Amino acid sequence: MNPRDEIVIALAGQPNCGKSTLFNAVAGFKVNTGNFAGTTVSFTETKVFFEGRTIRLIDLPGTYSISSHDIAEKVARDYLLSGNADVIINVVDTSLLSRSLEFTIQILEMNIPMVIGLNMYDEAIRKGIEIDLAGLKTLTGTEAYPIIAVEGSGVHELFEAALRIAESEFKPVKPVYDRDVEECIADITKRYPPALRSGLDLDERFLIIRLLEMDEDFEKTVGKLDNDFLKYVLKKRQELAEIHNWPESGVFSSHRHAFVIDLFEQIARVSRRDGMDLRERIDHFIINPAGGFTAIIGLLLFMFYTSFKLGDIISGLIEAPLDALGQSVRGMAGGLASIMMSGLYDGMVAGAGIVLPYLIPLLILMAILEDSGLLPRIAFMVDGLLHRFGLHGKSAVPIILGYGCNVPAIMAARGLEYERDRIITMLIIPFIACSARTVIILALAGKYLGGVYTTLIYIGNIMVALAVSFGLSRLHVDMAPGIIMDVPPLRRPYLHLVANKVWWRLREFLFFAWPVIVVSSVALSIISYIGVDRIIDTFLSPVTSTILNLPEQTGITLFLGIFRKELTLLMLNQSLGTTNIASILSNVQIFVLVVFTVLYIPCVATISTLWKEGGWKIALYSIILNTSVAIIVAGSIAQIAKLF
């Protein structure tokens, strides 16, 4: 196959500029999106067919500059430096064009064919920014196309241009800096050693600029190949800093910044507008302490209450027909076949009648929360509070994402720059009640104990997580560097994006979790039939019976919950032999069971993600930590309740 038959296009840009939204607009919904920086933490690739051509499309994590600071930024930088992309689509948030151009200029310096996608063009117009597209092309040598990725507007023209540029000679107009800087670069270029030319496949000017910007990775690489050359560059860098009376670390970037401001002034016209529109008024209410906390608490209560109410209604509607079907299934055959049919039925019904009704409303509300831009505002409000418990403010976003699913939440912790903060955040996330555990809370505590105890479980869950974080932070006392984070404007969630996101997450349940539940249900029926469940129940009875004061039969359900958290709830009906849990368990026992289920050992998917992100020691630590805390907290409640 001719290699040019497949074009590699990488989407690169600053965080929250809409790269993943553009990726999804072309490839279908394949990566998560959200209105906050750091939604994408690893690169995703897919093949798309466009105008008869095959495109390998790469979605890179956002990065503010080529100098990477966290793991996600390093992924983007390494890919850009790999030279694998035939063309880069530099996605920029047009409403923040002057800042976005800093990264554009850095890509230009790399000499990789590029086209600019001016995303959120509508927002820029609303802000009074007008762009001279022809001027931008003249001054940078790069074509730019206005797009609105969420609506798919302008995307076709952008990709047409990307294909054309990938196959033609790219002639960027490289930035020319002040005379002092250019003379410095020229002096260094004269001494550019042959060892670097043959050893590194990089543009010479780009490499010199990286060294002038104190890029430690390149300093190490160049130092190994020609240390004398590196010493010469460092001397020239110091001279440049002295001439301008600036610190070495900022002297080059300051020149680039001045260049970008000049470029922006030449290509953009900004007409200021007075007053605040409705979105800005709502934002103003949310980011003041009184309004902010009211909004956060109200929003979370609304989310869980709505999920419960809607789930209850849907569950009630389908209960009668499913029960009738169950009776006919159970009356079909005898012996092991009957037991297996019954297990199959229980597994199918568990997904349809118990999980889906509560899961769907929760996923819809989580998607709206992510797309609205409320998450960074919550991080802003709770940062000071989190610091008191040893957590970094940036941890707030992964932790809140944990209410949806712990797996992407743990991956989102990559956005934390310091190892200590990242590890504490990763260890706290498995304490957060994900959607599967929320289903258990709503279907057991909500149904049998009422709203007060359900709220108590949520508040208690947050308090336990904070207490654990406080304890962990005391084990490794260190000064966190403090938060710095973009706060994007509030945005209206788009119905089609919310629907796509809900379906994307629901698919994981329908095609992975539900089959696991059905198979587990059949397996449980068989092991009950042959009596293996009693062995597991007996083995776990020191915890279930003695400490938690629960019936022994809960042992097998808690064991299965390790594979999928929903299984604890679903298998409970089966192992207790009734759908009316309250006829077997007292209110205290239901409360204890829910608290234990919310806190104990993370599910297999979470454990494997912890392993991948932090190593096997972190995964093992998390298993021991969660299980210990669950036994202490739920056991204490059970033992204290026994006294009364």
Partner 1 sequence: MDGFGLREGKRIRLIMAAPFRGPLLLEDLGSGARIMIGRGMAETVEVSRCESS
Q: In which element (H, E) is residue 568 found?
A: helix 565-576
Residue 16 CB, nearest approach to partner 1 (Å): 10
Cα(621)–Cα(364) distance, integer angstroms: 33
Q: For partner 1, which is the closer residue by CB, 213 or 566?
A: 213
Q: Which of 298, 450, 451, 481 binds partner 1 (CB under 8 A)?
A: 481
Radius of gyration (C-alpha) of the chain in whole angstroms: 28
Token digits of residue 303: 């989310």
- Specify the residue, 78 or 323, whose C-beta has the smaller distance to partner 1: 78
Question: Would you count residue 628 as binding partner 1 (CB under 8 A)?
Answer: no
Least distance to partner 1, CB of residue 512, Å: 37
* CB of 14 or CB of 597, closer to partner 1: 14
Among 452, 479, 495, 643, binds partner 1 (CB under 8 A): 479
Q: Shortest gap between Cβ of 203 and partner 1 (angstroms)? A: 22
Question: Does residue 321 belong to the site contacting partner 1 (CB under 8 A)?
Answer: no
Strand duo 87-93 + 6-13: pairing: parallel
CB of 28 to partner 1, least distance (A): 31
Smallest distance from the beta carbon of 253 to partner 1, in angstroms? 5
Site for partner 1 in 405-444 (CB under 8 A): none
* Shortest distance in whole angstroms from residue 124 CB to partner 1: 10
> Are 568 and 561 a contacting pair, CB within 8 Å?
yes
Q: What is the smallest separation between the CB atom of 123 and partner 1, expressed in angstroms?
A: 10
373: left (phi over 0), alpha (psi -120 to 50) or beta: left
Distance in Å, CB of 416 to partner 1, minimum: 13
| 34 forms part of the interface with partner 1 (CB under 8 A) | no
Closer to partner 1 by Cβ: residue 261 or 620: 261
List the interface residues with partner 1, window 369-408 (CB under 8 A): 376, 379-385, 387-388, 393
Q: Does 279 bind partner 1 (CB under 8 A)?
A: no
| Exposure b/e, 558-587, CB count within 10 A at least 16 = b | bbbbbbbbbbbbbbbbbbbeebebeebbee
Should residue 273 be labelled a site residue for partner 1 when binding is judged by CB under 8 A?
no
**Which residue from 484, 495, 531, 583 is in contact with partner 1, where contact means CB under 8 A?**
484
> Where are the strands (E) in 51-151, listed by range?
53-59, 87-93, 114-119, 129-131, 144-146
**Near partner 1 by CB under 8 A: residue from 99, 156, 244, 447:** 99
Helices (H), 373-448: 374-388, 396-401, 406-412, 419-428, 435-440
Helices 227-244 and 248-267 meet at what angle, rounded to 10?
A: 70
Q: How far is the CB of 364 from partner 1 (least distance, A)?
A: 27
Does position 178 interact with partner 1 (CB under 8 A)? The reply is: no
Residue 593: CB partners within 8 Å, gap ≥ 6?
Answer: 444, 548, 550, 554, 572, 585, 634
Partner residues linked to 47 by β-bridges: 56
Neighbour tally for 430: CB within 10 Å: 27
Binding pattern for the stretch 225-264 against partner 1, x by CB under 8 A and - elsewhere: -------------------------x--xx--x---x---
Which residue bears the tokens 């949520």?
458
How far CA 45 is from CA of 6, 11, 165, 170, in Å, comes to 13, 10, 20, 24
Using CB under 8 A as the binding rule, whether residue 195 contacts partner 1 is answered as: no
3-state secondary structure 208-251: HHHHHCCCHHHHHHHHHHCHHHHHHHHHHHHHHHHHHCCCHHHH
Binding stretches for partner 1 (CB under 8 A): 14, 64-65, 67, 69, 95-99, 102, 127, 250, 253-254, 257, 261, 287-289, 293, 376, 379-385, 387-388, 393, 479, 481-489
